[in-house]
Amino acid sequence: MSALEAIVLLLVAAGGTAVVLTRDPLNQAIVASFYGLILGLAFLVLQSPDVALSQITVGAVALPLMILLALAKVRREESTQARTPEAREAGQGRPARARPDPDADRERAGTDPGEPL
């Protein structure tokens, strides 16, 4: 194993761990995009440029994009639902159960100042 291969494999291990350790889905999509790029590099170093091209286009662009768009949709639905009084009453206590992570709640409150928490 050459030094370059060893470095790239270590990067892959570090990148995969980083994706798992990132808890917020929004940040995770960005980290996963970088991880896709690292995986593409690894395939290039291991002399499979065909796979590297597929990996970079899908792993670094297409997949994170789909996650980001899905997240944007979900968050919009949440914020519009919280605006109607019926939904607010029905959804009381739901954010606490659905999001046990206090960081996520604080962050959501920061992005949406109109929502009473």
Would you tell me which residues interact with other proteins (CB under 8 A)?
A: 1, 5, 49-50, 52-54, 57-58, 61-62, 65-66, 69-70, 72-73, 76-77, 79-81, 83-84, 86-87, 112, 114
Closer residue to other proteins (CB): 93 or 113: 113
Whether 103 contacts 23, CB under 8 Å: yes
Rounded Cα distance, 67 and 63, in Å: 6
Shortest distance (Å) from residue 73 CB to other proteins: 4
Compute the radius of gyration of the chain from its Cα atoms.
19
Nearer to other proteins, 15 or 59 (CB): 59
Helices marked H in 46-114 — which ranges? 49-55, 63-81, 85-90, 94-98, 102-111
Tell me how far, at minimum, the Cβ of 113 lies from other proteins, in Å: 9
Buried b (16+ CB within 10 A) or exposed e, 58-68: ebbeebbeebe
User: Minimum distance between the CB of residue 97 and other proteins, rounded to whole angstroms?
Assistant: 18
When the beta carbons of 23 and 76 are compared against other proteins, the nearer one is 76
